[in-house]
Each structure stands twice: as C-alpha cells, then as structure tokens.
Amino acid sequence: MAFLEVENMSLQFGGVKACQNVNMRLEPGILYGLIGPNGAGKSTIFNVLTGIYAPTTGDVRLGGQSLVGKKPYEIAQMGIGRTFQNIRLFKELSVLENVMTSFYSSSETSIRDMIFQNKKFKQEEEEIRMKSMELLDVMGIKDLAEVPAGGLPYGKQRKLEIARALGLNPKLLLLDEPAAGLNPAETRELTTLIRDIQKQRHITVLLIEHDMGLVMKICEKIYVLVQGQLVCEGVAEVVQNDKRVIEAYLGV
C-alpha cells in the first residue's frame, strides 16, 4: 500500500473529461512533480485530493483510508495541506494572524475556550504564536509578521500561502504553481526553499509547476498529465526524453 493512492480516478464536468483513469502512488518523504499543458486537469486532481470535488469514478486513499465523500476540513485534519493557483489569503489580517488561523483549524480548542479566553486558550494562543513565527522565519518573512497580508508584495504572498499550508502540519503538501508570477531570482529562491522544507520535515510534496527547469531540478519523480490522462511518469531524464511528453509540449 502506498501512502497516497489515486486509483482509476475520473472526473467529468458536463462534457469535459477533466481526469480520465488517473493512477498515482505516492510514497512518503518524496518530492513529486505534476506537469502538463494548460487545462490538462492538474488543479482538478488537487481539488479531488482535498475534497472540493468528488471523483465521478475511482478512489483516492490516504494511508489506506478513502477520501471520497470527506469534507475539505476533514481531509486537512487527516494531513493534506495545499496552496492554490490563485492566492487565497485573509487580506485584512496580518501575516502572523494568517498563519495562526491555520493552526487553529487543526487545534482542539473549542469556540467556548476562545470566547471566554480561559487559561487553556491563552496558553495555546502563545504556543501557536510561537510556532507561527517559526514558520514565518523558515519562509523568510518573519519581519513582516504585523503587516496586513494584502499589502505584501506578490512573491511574499506566495511564501505566506506555503506557511499557512504548513501550519496544518501536513503529511502531504500540495503546491499549485507556487512560482507563478515570480521573477527568476524569486523562483530560484523558492525552489531551494521547497526542497529544504520537504527534506527537513520529511513530508511528501506534490508540486504542480509549469516552470520545467524548476520541476526537473528538484523533483524526484514526475507525473505528466495531458488532456486528463497521465501519459508518462518517472525521473527527469525519462520524462524529458519521452515522445508523448515532447509532443504534448511542442504540439507536434
């Protein structure tokens, strides 16, 4: 049994076959890439893995347990964290508060504890504040902790999104085009950061990215999706030389 299993998963939106018989087996502690042309169905796979859509057929399992029918928050609590292709932050909240809310969503504190601000809540709040600051430090945005998230430069918002996803303490981290909109220097920095986080925390990462250089450089195994179907999987050298992959990208 693999850590994450996607088995014959298909998802259709009306007449659009967004995913067709997708099979994936992710092992713990590996950095995977998921690439493919626009509209291939990459984000849809993330949406199925996080309970936003239920597959039309097939199954998705984490540690042997099916995720189909589970709510997004339940899946987050089971250990899948994600970022979105279009940044989603609480723009009016501070950078620090954005990460803290993420910790609260997996905490045991009840609404009652929060409302009455009792001792348990106070202690936990202090702990969460410390852990959130540590994550901001890892992402290199600690000095911006008090700034409203909406006021951050774009590249730093991307980093904050990753910090938020890490606040859920995920076993599996799904990153949807984290380098989109970044300049080459920011992309290089983020690349190293993603690899370091993955190694230090021993988590599994599945990275959607259209920057091929980035994917080839850091991913240990790459899945290639074309028109909803996986056409190739393997290490960078295998994928780069695969005829179907070249055709899909060059349109020949």
Of 79-87, 105-113, 147-155, 238-246, the segment contacting Mg ion by CB under 5 A is: 79-87
Of Mg ion, ligand ADP, none, which one does residue 18 interact with (CB within 5 to 8 Å by kind)? ligand ADP
Minimum CB separation of residue 56 from ligand ADP in Å reads 12
Strand duo 57-62 + 31-35: pairing: unpaired
Range 83-112, binding Mg ion (CB under 5 A): 85
Of 42-50, 91-99, 100-108, 113-121, the segment contacting ligand ADP by CB under 6 A is: 42-50
Residue 201 neighbours by CB distance under 10 Å: 16
Minimum CB separation of residue 184 from ligand ADP in Å reads 22
Q: Residue 126 corresponds to which tokens in the numbers above?
A: 């202090």
Q: HSE of 194 in the Cβ direction (CA atoms, 13 Å)?
A: 36
Range 6-25, binding ligand ADP (CB under 6 A): 13, 16, 18
Rounded Cα–Cα distance for residues 61 and 68 (Å): 8
| DSSP class of 149 | G
Helix axes 184-201, 154-166, angle to 10 degrees: 10
H-only helix segments in the chain: 42-49, 72-78, 95-104, 111-116, 119-138, 154-166, 184-201, 212-218, 236-240, 243-250
Contact between 149 and 157 under an 8 Å Cβ cutoff? The reply is yes
Rounded Cα–Cα distance for residues 3 and 104 (Å): 26
Contact with ligand ADP (CB under 6 A) among 3, 31, 43, 60: 43
Contact between 224 and 233 under an 8 Å Cβ cutoff? The reply is yes
Cβ closer to ligand ADP: 19 or 95?
A: 19
Using alpha carbons, select from 160, 140, 162 the residue that is nearest to residue 152.
Answer: 160
Minimum CB separation of residue 44 from ligand ADP in Å reads 3
Q: Does 39 bind ligand ADP (CB under 6 A)?
A: yes
Q: Does 221 bind ligand ADP (CB under 6 A)?
A: no
Cβ closer to Mg ion: 6 or 100?
A: 6
Q: Does 44 bind ligand ADP (CB under 6 A)?
A: yes
Minimum CB separation of residue 226 from ligand ADP in Å reads 10
Of 24-32, 78-86, 108-116, 242-250, the segment contacting Mg ion by CB under 5 A is: 78-86
Cβ closer to ligand ADP: 5 or 209?
A: 209
Q: Does 72 bind ligand ADP (CB under 6 A)?
A: no
Applying CB under 5 A, the residues found at the interface with Mg ion are 42-43, 85
